[in-house]
Amino acid sequence: MGGGWLNGVKRDFTKEEALEEYLFFLADDALILGQQLSKWCSAGPVLEQDIAIINTALDHIGRARLLYQHLAEIKGGATTEDSLAYFRDHMDFRNALLVEQPNGHWGDSIVRSFFIDTFNFYLYDALRNCTYAPIAEIAEKSIKEIAYHAQWSAEWVVRLGDGTEESHGKVQKSIDDLWMWAGELFESAPVFEVLDPSFVAFPTLKSAWLNKVDEVLQMATLARPEDDAWAQTGGRYGIHSAHLGYILAEMQSLPRTYPDATW
């Protein structure tokens, strides 16, 4: 592999470790995305969409809770959903880099959601058959809302792409700018090799995702960047962009200021 940015990251996992890592992939994606989307509250382009995006943030954070609660059960001791959310630092977060990218304008947030929502749709749909019951149950519980998110963000991509000249130009730029953060979603990771195949390996979702993206972008009269373009990497190993530190500093400030308090 040679030396590079990811030099020195852990690549050997026991089965137990791999299970936790996989759960953190799912949970941290959900929490960070929900946290980001929640910033649109009172700032959306129209009241109806404020409501829609808050609703989506609620879904993501709700799903994150289920996953953290299960992780807390596995870890035992004093671990709780909140200790996992509030008392881990950036190097322990396993979310994809895409979800920590800034909200930007409405088009940027929509494209970020469109990429991850479409990924989540194929992922959670397949995870309904996971042999590990807790994951299968959460997937079953969440698939309906995830399908709704994917539809909502795809509809907005079409609306912006096929709307005005201005919106077309803006959302095309969002796609071009965010593309290099999307490739990581389908990256192979050592944990997939340790877990049984019903823990969906993310690379297997790529072709379905690309087909859907192509279909939506075509409706939106938008162009897709090359699928073999260089992609950023690191999130699944705890190597993050500089944005995550600020997201966590804001989110974790209160429990860290008053570590003895319960809320």
- C-beta of 220: minimal distance to other proteins in Å? 10
Interacting span for other proteins (CB under 8 A) from 43-51, 93-101, 117-125, 206-214: 43-51
CA distance linking residue 137 with residue 28, whole number of Å: 18
Three-class DSSP category at 30? helix
**Considering beta carbons, is residue 5 or 246 the nearer one to other proteins?**
246
Six-digit token pair at 13?
């996992």
In 3D, which of 152, 148, 114, 144 has the Cα closest to residue 128?
144
State which of positions 199-218 bind other proteins (CB under 8 A): none
Is residue 258 part of the contact set for other proteins (CB under 8 A)?
Answer: yes
CA distance linking residue 86 with residue 249, whole number of Å: 9
CA distance linking residue 118 with residue 205, whole number of Å: 10
**Considering beta carbons, is residue 223 or 254 the nearer one to other proteins?**
254
Is residue 102 part of the contact set for other proteins (CB under 8 A)?
Answer: no
- C-beta of 210: minimal distance to other proteins in Å? 24
CA distance linking residue 177 with residue 112, whole number of Å: 10
In 3D, which of 224, 189, 223 has the Cα closest to residue 203?
189
Work out which of 85, 111, 130, 191 binds other proteins, going by CB under 8 A.
Answer: 85
Work out which of 137, 162, 176, 227 binds other proteins, going by CB under 8 A.
Answer: 162
CA distance linking residue 245 with residue 248, whole number of Å: 5
Is residue 73 part of the contact set for other proteins (CB under 8 A)?
Answer: no
State which of positions 141-160 bind other proteins (CB under 8 A): 158-160
CA distance linking residue 129 with residue 135, whole number of Å: 9
In 3D, which of 163, 173, 187 has the Cα closest to residue 225?
173
DSSP, residue by residue, 205-259 = GHHHHHHHHHHHHHHTT-PPPPTTS-----GGGT---THHHHHHHHHHHHHHHST
Work out which of 81, 100, 145, 187 binds other proteins, going by CB under 8 A.
Answer: 81
Is residue 106 part of the contact set for other proteins (CB under 8 A)?
Answer: yes
Work out which of 94, 149, 170, 236 binds other proteins, going by CB under 8 A.
Answer: 170
Work out which of 19, 33, 57, 191 binds other proteins, going by CB under 8 A.
Answer: 57
Work out which of 79, 167, 204, 241 binds other proteins, going by CB under 8 A.
Answer: 167
Contact footprint for other proteins (CB under 8 A): 31, 35, 38-39, 41-48, 50-51, 54-55, 57-58, 61-62, 64-65, 68, 81-82, 85-86, 105-107, 158-160, 162-164, 166-167, 170, 250-251, 253-255, 258, 260-263
